[in-house]
Amino acid sequence: MFRQVFIPTADNNVLPPVNIPREWYGREVEVIVFPIKYEKTTTIENKEARLLKLCGAWQSEKSAEDIIDTIYSSRTSGETRILEKL
């Protein structure tokens, strides 16, 4: 797979040349262009807000030590858990 990120402007709106790898010669290739959507979070406030959204994502009455112990014992017990159907 080949990937190149390109930011077009009014003066620079033509795709840059793509060097096709030699092993792809004679094969069909596809060029896909779509915008990349992401959020820039550079301020401390945004980072703190994102962190606070994650807090409480796993709600449990158990302490962290109890959760770790449960996970560890389930991985070392040799018993296979049967998963419920979705």
Tens digit of pLDDT for each residue in 7-53?
Answer: 788 888 887 787 888 888 898 888 888 887 776 656 666 777 777 77
Domain that holds residue 27: 22-76
Residue 1, domain member (yes or no) = no
Which has the higher per-residue pLDDT, 58 or 35?
A: 35
Dihedral sign, CA of 74, 76, 79, 84? positive
| Residue 47, domain member (yes or no) | yes
Our count of domains for the chain comes to 1
Closest CA to 18 of 8, 38, 4, 36: 4
Q: Is residue 36 part of a domain?
A: yes
In-domain check, residue 57: yes
pLDDT at position 56, please?
63
* Cβ atoms of residues 27 and 40 within 8 Å: no
Domain-embedded: residue 81: no
In this prediction, residues 53-69 reach a mean pLDDT of 77
